Amino acid sequence: MKYSLRVTGMAVATLISLTGCSMASNGASSASGTGATTAAAGGANSPAGNVTVGFVAVNLNSPSITRIKDSFVAAAKKRGWKVEVFDGQGDQNATNNAATNFVNRGLSAIVNDASPNEQMTGVMAAAKAKNIPFVSIYGGFVPQVDAEIGTNEFVNGSIITQELVNQLNGKGRILKLNWTVLGALRDRDAAFKAVTSEAKGIQVVKQIEVKVPGQVDDAYQQVTNVLQADKNIDAIWVGWDELAPPVVRAIEQAGLKDKIKVVGFDGNPFAWDLIRSNSPYIMEPANPFEPMGEKAVSTVAKLLSGQKLSSKVIYMKPCLINRETVPAKGQMPDWSKCAFFPGEIG
């Protein structure tokens, strides 16, 4: 929902590929209002008064990122705020230009939904010059951001990788697929390497950098090729759950459904369908995308009111989803009560 952050915006966007409004020709929501009191002008009264937020994403073709957007817009509208949404549709430069335009127009705040913050520091500088808060969700922390909201992906990666090693009884051959451009995926990758380096009975057979765009087809073809040459694979680790369906398909077509375990990340309903169906995909941490959108709204409100945050980085707790905890189809986990560590289940 997104990996060296210095890649082109198109590449970053395609990975991220986690709306209701029609889109104008420039990508901004045509249903949004215009004109707002800036944070500088509105001050402490802004959250209760005339607030318009400029909300940008490099690509809303991601279920995760769209879920964040939808949650943010709904929570903002409950406060009487207006939200102008811009979908960069794969173009980081266009996304930056739209955010800068929001700043120049004096909107109350800028919110970045999963575009890499390292590529938006110029926008942050422009916002800071006008005392306009810049809040990001899954953008990756940089010092210039006023608040970054997400989950600790090094922790997520450590827990899910260690649990996979445990389920293999400390011995086995693992294939890894990732695309290390976005900060969240780099953190997951680093955790994988840290855990497996200490698991002496684990052999990492191959580390595949998935091609983006085209990650779904590439993941399927890469795993198919590996399994044609080497059927002695015990587990496959994927950096985000968009890769799970093609990887599972490759495993099933190789006749190895009952041999290979697959784990991943993010928490999208299509991945839970795989878990429910007793496919090789067995486990992932589900990130609280809807609560993240709500948290971003309350964080913007605090900043507009002149309140100081205890930390610029706001980590939220995921849910561990496996065959015991997977929610019923069409439902979400209870984010406030769900288990995160394996020992909390049952």
* 237 within some domain: yes
Give the domain range for residue 253: 153-286+319-344
2 in any annotated domain = no
Question: 35 with 120, same domain?
Answer: yes
Answer yes or no: do 14 and 126 share one domain.
yes
pTM equals 0.82
Q: DSSP per residue over 124-184, as a string?
A: HHHHHHTT--EEEESS---TT-SEEEE--HHHHHHHHHHHHHHHTTT-EEEEEEE-TTSHH
Same domain for 327 and 210: yes
How far is Cα 250 from Cα 244, in angstroms, rounded to an integer? 10
Q: What pLDDT shows up at residue 59?
A: 85
346 residues of the chain, pLDDT tens digit each: 433 333 334 344 443 443 333 333 344 553 343 333 333 333 333 455 699 999 999 889 888 899 999 999 999 999 999 999 999 987 899 999 999 999 999 999 999 999 999 999 999 999 999 999 999 999 999 999 999 999 999 999 999 999 999 999 999 999 999 998 777 899 999 999 999 999 999 999 999 999 987 899 999 999 999 999 999 999 999 999 999 999 999 999 999 999 999 999 999 999 999 999 999 999 999 999 999 999 999 999 999 999 999 999 999 999 999 999 999 999 999 999 999 999 999 7
Minimal CA–CA distance to 24: which of 84, 91, 101? Answer: 84
* Predicted local distance difference test score (pLDDT) of residue 17: 41
Whether residues 108 and 164 share a domain: the answer is no
Residues 300 and 215 in one domain: no
C-beta separation of 208 from 234 below 8 A: no
The pLDDT of residue 307 is 96
Strand partners, 110: 54, 134
pLDDT at position 62, please?
81
Domain contains 1: no
Task: Read off the DSSP letter of residue 211.
Answer: -
- Do 118 and 193 lie in one domain? The reply is no
| Measured CA distances, 191 to 69, 158, 187, 290, 339 (Å) | 28, 5, 6, 25, 20
* Cβ(157)–Cβ(192) below 8 Å: yes
Q: What CATH number does the domain containing 267 carry?
A: 3.40.50.2300
SS3 content of the chain, % helix, strand, coil (to 5): 40, 20, 40
Residues 277 and 307 in one domain: no
Q: Are residues 72 and 93 in the same domain?
A: yes
Answer for the pair 261, 167: CB distance below 8 angstroms, yes or no: yes
Give the chain's domain count.
2
Residue 3 lies in a domain: no
Spatial CA neighbour of 144 closest among 120, 108, 176: 120
Same domain, 302 and 329: no
